[in-house]
A and B are shown apart, each in its own frame.
Chain A
């Protein structure tokens, strides 16, 4: 069945460091891929998405490229800020059903 695996956290970085959060997936069809962010005490917000192979999603300085050959959708940001501290979820959508990774907590220190 479909599934998403993302790196365990927490990830702790200093401000302005480079961020990578790894995400790989297994899917039987042709899924769309998403990154969601959850700030403390809040629900999940869509951060970016990609709907087909080689698409790059981007938003607020974050990027992720849909790599079909490696079944990956890694999240990157060149320079993180304290305000990026949150939990990040990788997800795929296949046949109207979503599958979420377990989430990666990011702590950014000043």
Chain B
């Protein structure tokens, strides 16, 4: 089975800190995605990547950046954390092609204080 691993389940950070959320997948998937999930808002796409060193903005990229130096790893960076970035962050990967679903990680619940 494909596994998508997010490095932390829970994180607490201070306002203004630079925060790194790490995601690693083990099945050589081309595509990787970062979402945030908030009550009443569902899942919103932050950034995605279809290849190494490639990145595309999703629907809500402001305040975030990403890095994909290796195919298996996709990092989400909060340049200067703010309280409105308190959320559940979900990483996903896919093989590509419309018929394939995503495989999600277990999520990182980030609290910014």
Contacts and interface: CB of A to CB of B under 8 A. Distances in A.
Q: Do A and B come from one complex?
A: yes
Interface of A: 29-32, 34, 36, 41-46, 49, 51, 89, 93-98, 100-103
A44 B40 contact: no
Size bracket, chain B contacts:
20 to 34
Contacts of B99: 32, 49, 51, 93
A34 B106 contact: no
Contacts of A101: 42
Nearest to A52: B99
A58 to B, nearest CB: 15
28 contacts: A31-B98, A32-B98, A34-B101, A42-B107, A43-B4, A43-B6, A43-B104, A43-B105, A43-B106, A43-B107, A44-B90, A46-B101, A49-B101, A51-B99, A89-B42, A93-B98, A93-B99, A94-B98, A95-B98, A96-B31, A96-B50, A96-B96, A96-B97, A96-B98, A97-B45, A97-B48, A100-B42, A102-B41
A59 to B, nearest CB: 12
Interface in B43-98: 43, 45, 48, 50, 90, 92, 94, 96-98
A100 B58 CA distance: 13
Nearest to B107: A43
Contact of B102 (A31, A98, A102): A98
Nearest to A46: B101
Contacts of A98: 33, 45, 102
A60 to B, nearest CB: 15
Given A36-B104, A44-B92, A103-B42, 12 more contacts: A32-B98, A32-B99, A44-B43, A46-B102, A46-B103, A93-B99, A94-B98, A96-B50, A98-B33, A98-B45, A101-B42, A103-B43
A24 to B, nearest CB: 15
Contacts of B94: 96
